[in-house]
């Protein structure tokens, strides 16, 4: 749906927290595109937050190109570590799914494996999950 702005693609609102639904997905890259810190969204959504797309974004302002980056967590400006720790503190029992791009790895499978392993370690560290 277009109503005059490229940012209207998430109509009726970019913020699903405004909808009357029971379960919400937090995507750190989408939060970056909206120009809001994911920590604000997670706090506002409370127990309705049931699914997390683990990634990062270099954006913290709605200005600039609308790019859905899906950077590895910790490689952008979203407060990914803080949000995951807060979820762990509140005994979050929803799903956390890595949704990162590995395009920058090209055909280097070792680099891709390293980026994915670092993403998994980031999640385990900040969600306080034992790897055993």
Does some domain include residue 10? no
As for how many domains the chain has, the answer is: 1
Does some domain include residue 45? yes
What's the confidence (pLDDT) of residue 3?
52
Does some domain include residue 14? no
Question: Which residues sit opposite 51 in a β-bridge?
Answer: 25, 95
Does some domain include residue 15? no
Does some domain include residue 61? yes
pTM of the model: 0.84
Task: Name the pairing type of β-strands 24-27 and 49-54.
Answer: parallel
What's the confidence (pLDDT) of residue 115?
98
pLDDT per 10-residue tile (average), the chain, 132 residues: 49 71 94 90 96 92 78 96 97 97 96 98 95 73
What's the confidence (pLDDT) of residue 11?
52
What's the confidence (pLDDT) of residue 12?
53
Neighbours of 105 (CB within 10 A): 15
What's the confidence (pLDDT) of residue 14?
65
Closest CA to 47 of 15, 81, 93: 93
Find the domain containing 88 and state its range.
Answer: 21-127
Q: Tell me, what CATH number does 25's domain have? A: 3.20.20.150
Q: What single DSSP character describes residue 120?
A: H
- What's the length of the chain? 132
Q: Which residues contact 63 (CB under 8 A, 6 or more apart)?
A: 35
Does some domain include residue 36? yes
Does some domain include residue 11? no
Does some domain include residue 108? yes
Give the C-alpha separation, 63 to 28, whole Å. Answer: 17
What's the confidence (pLDDT) of residue 97?
98
Cα dist from 97 to 1, 72, 100, whole Å: 28, 12, 9
């Amino acid at each position: 749906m277009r109503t005059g702005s490229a940012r209207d693609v998430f109509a009726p609102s970019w913020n699903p927290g405004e909808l009357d639904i029971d379960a919400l997905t937090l995507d750190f890259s989408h939060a970056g595109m909206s120009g809001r810190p994911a920590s604000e969204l997670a706090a506002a959504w409370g127990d309705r937050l049931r699914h997390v797309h683990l990634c990062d974004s270099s954006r913290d302002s709605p200005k600039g190109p609308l790019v859905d980056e899906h950077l590895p967590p910790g490689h952008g400006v979203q407060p990914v570590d803080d949000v995951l720790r807060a979820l762990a503190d509140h005994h979050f029992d929803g799903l956390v799914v890595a949704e990162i791009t590995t395009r920058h790895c090209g055909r280097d499978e070792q680099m891709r494996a390293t980026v994915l392993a670092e993403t998994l370690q980031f999640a385990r560290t900040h969600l306080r999950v034992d790897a055993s």
